[in-house]
Amino acid sequence: MAPVWSLTLPAVAVVGAAAASVSTTSTLGVTAAAVAAIGLAAGLYAAGRRNPVHAGNVNELPAARQQAGV
């Protein structure tokens, strides 16, 4: 878990610094940072909804593994 955090925290710092740098320029910068954040959140939400996990499929194997007989 430590290696993952050692990559995640610096990446978040870079994104935060970029957002702060853009948003301190003007109102347009704040708007651009907000639009980018909303777009990223919408993209992540849409990607998460492509193959939702629910009570009916939580233990199913992917189709490729089922065909291989694993």
pLDDT tens column, 27-56: 999 999 999 999 999 999 999 898 888 888
User: Cα 7 from chain centroid?
Assistant: 15
For the beta carbon of residue 23, count every other beta carbon within 10 angstroms.
16
- Any domain includes 23: yes
- Any domain includes 54: no
- Any domain includes 40: yes
- Any domain includes 4: yes
Q: What average pLDDT score do residues 46-70 get?
A: 76
Task: Report the candidate in 14, 11, 18, 46 with the shortest Cα–Cα distance to residue 32.
Answer: 18
pLDDT of residue 35: 96
- Any domain includes 61: no
Q: How many domains does the chain have?
A: 1
Q: How far apart are CA 37 and CA 57, in angstroms?
A: 31
2-34 per-position pLDDT tens digit: 899 999 999 999 999 999 999 999 999 999 999
CB 57 within 8 Å of CB 39: no
For residue 68, pLDDT beyond 70: no
Domain range for residue 7? 1-46
pTM: 0.64
- Any domain includes 21: yes
- Any domain includes 11: yes
